[in-house]
């Protein structure tokens, strides 16, 4: 399977704990995006990487959130001191080089903060 | 301020008939539009797209129409099949010239139910 993969698929954590999610994009894609989707809403953009460089961050990405893509391949999204409002589906997407608007999404990580 | 709007939360269509899903946008900078299909517990799946320089794009049973003057697009599915039952998201992008990002702005989705 050469699609986008995400791990874990589900995460339940207690408020105040730190969590980290991983995304493995399609291998030849150099663009990587993170989105967040809450119930009844469409996905909302969080951050964007081109290769290993994080080039854009949404105002939704508070200082408790950090994302990395150390070697331009997989990416991690960490949330520190989780809050109940962080409960959502976290989606990763990747796309080809310049000129391509189509993004291909992974299955998402469902985070529940209790 | 919602830049991409899907005003119908749900739509029911008989199998074999046409499904028409609508989407409106407000940001004139959007230059590319996409439709995604989403099943429960899965990520969105890319369906079809259209550039702002076109007014129609067709792929099998799926056709997307773009009316730039009205800032409106629609997705037509003909004929509709029970397997088409899913949530459909309209999305738009405008290249962020500084960062080169093509981040997507999504509507809230329309749940399509195709009745056998």
pLDDT band at B96 (very low <50, low <70, confident <90, very high): low
**Which pLDDT belongs to residue B79?**
98
Which chain B residues are within 8 Å of A48, Cβ to Cβ?
99, 101, 103
A100 in contact with B, Cβ within 8 Å: yes
Is the pLDDT score of B83 beyond 90? yes
pLDDT, one tens digit per residue, over A55-72 is: 999 988 889 999 999 988
Is the pLDDT score of A1 beyond 60? no
Size of interface A-B (CB pairs under 8 A): 69
What's the per-residue H, E or C state across chain B?
CCCEECCCCEEEEECCCCEEEEEEECCCCCCEEEEEEECCCCCCEEEEEEECCCCEEEECCEEEEEECCCCEEEEEECCCCHHHCEEEEEEEECCECCCCECCEEECCCEEEEEEC
Q: What is the average pLDDT score of chain B?
A: 94
Q: What is the average pLDDT score of chain A?
A: 93
Cα(B101)–Cα(A98) distance, rounded to whole angstroms? 9
Do the beta carbons of residue B90 and residue B6 sit within 8 Å? yes
Cα(B88)–Cα(B107) distance, rounded to whole angstroms? 9
Asked if A43 lies within 8 A of B45 by C-beta distance, the reply is no
Is the pLDDT score of B99 beyond 90? no
Distance from CA of B72 to the nearest CA of A (A): 18
Picking from B34, B42, B101, the nearest residue to A107 by CB comes out as B42
Q: Which residue has the tokens 């799946």?
A: B45
User: What percentage of chain A reaches a pLDDT higher than 90?
Assistant: 83
* Mean pLDDT value across residues A75-81: 97
**Which pLDDT belongs to residue A98?**
65
**Which pLDDT belongs to residue A99?**
64
Helix (H, G, I), strand (E, B) or coil at A71: coil
Asked if B4 lies within 8 A of A101 by C-beta distance, the reply is no
Do the beta carbons of residue B27 and residue B92 sit within 8 Å? yes
* Interstrand relation of A19-24 and A10-13 (parallel, antiparallel or unpaired): unpaired
**Which pLDDT belongs to residue B97?**
58
Query: Which residue of chain A comes nearest to B109, CA vs CA?
Result: A42
* Mean pLDDT value across residues A38-44: 94
Cα(A31)–Cα(A84) distance, rounded to whole angstroms? 30
Do the beta carbons of residue B35 and residue A102 sit within 8 Å? no
Q: List, as own/partner pairs, every contact residues B93-100 make where C-beta atoms lie below 8 angstroms and the sequence separation is at least 24, other chains included.
A: B93/A101, B93/B30, B93/B31, B93/B32, B93/B33, B93/B34, B94/B27, B94/B29, B94/B30, B94/B31, B94/B32, B95/B31, B96/A56, B99/A48, B99/A50, B99/A55, B99/A56, B100/A50, B100/A55, B100/A98
Asked if A45 lies within 8 A of B42 by C-beta distance, the reply is no
**Which pLDDT belongs to residue A72?**
84
Residue A72, phi then psi, degrees to nearest 5: 75, 15
Q: What is the dihedral of CA A35, A7, A111, A41, to 10 degrees?
A: 30
pLDDT band at A96 (very low <50, low <70, confident <90, very high): confident
């Amino acid at each position: 399977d050469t699609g986008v993969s995400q791990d874990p698929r589900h995460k339940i954590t207690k408020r105040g704990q730190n969590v980290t999610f991983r995304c493995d994009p399609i291998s030849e894609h150099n663009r990587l995006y993170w989105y967040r989707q809450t119930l009844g809403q469409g996905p909302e953009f969080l951050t964007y990487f081109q290769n290993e460089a994080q080039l854009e961050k949404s105002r939704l990405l508070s200082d408790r959130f950090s994302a990395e893509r150390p070697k331009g391949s997989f990416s991690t999204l960490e949330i520190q001191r989780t809050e109940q409002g962080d409960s959502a589906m976290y989606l990763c997407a990747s796309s080809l080089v310049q000129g391509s608007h189509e993004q291909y999404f992974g299955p998402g990580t469902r985070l529940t903060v209790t | 301020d919602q830049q991409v709007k899907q005003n119908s939360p749900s739509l029911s269509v008989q199998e074999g008939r046409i499904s028409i899903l609508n989407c409106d946008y407000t940001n004139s900078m959007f230059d590319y539009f996409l439709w995604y299909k989403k099943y429960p517990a899965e990520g969105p799946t890319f369906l079809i797209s259209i550039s702002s320089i076109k007014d129609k794009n067709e792929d099998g049973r799926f056709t997307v129409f773009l009316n730039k003057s009205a800032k409106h697009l629609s997705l037509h599915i003909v004929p509709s099949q029970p397997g088409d039952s899913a949530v459909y998201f309209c999305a738009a992008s405008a290249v962020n010239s500084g960062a080169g990002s093509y981040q997507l702005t999504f509507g809230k989705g329309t749940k399509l139910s195709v009745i056998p």
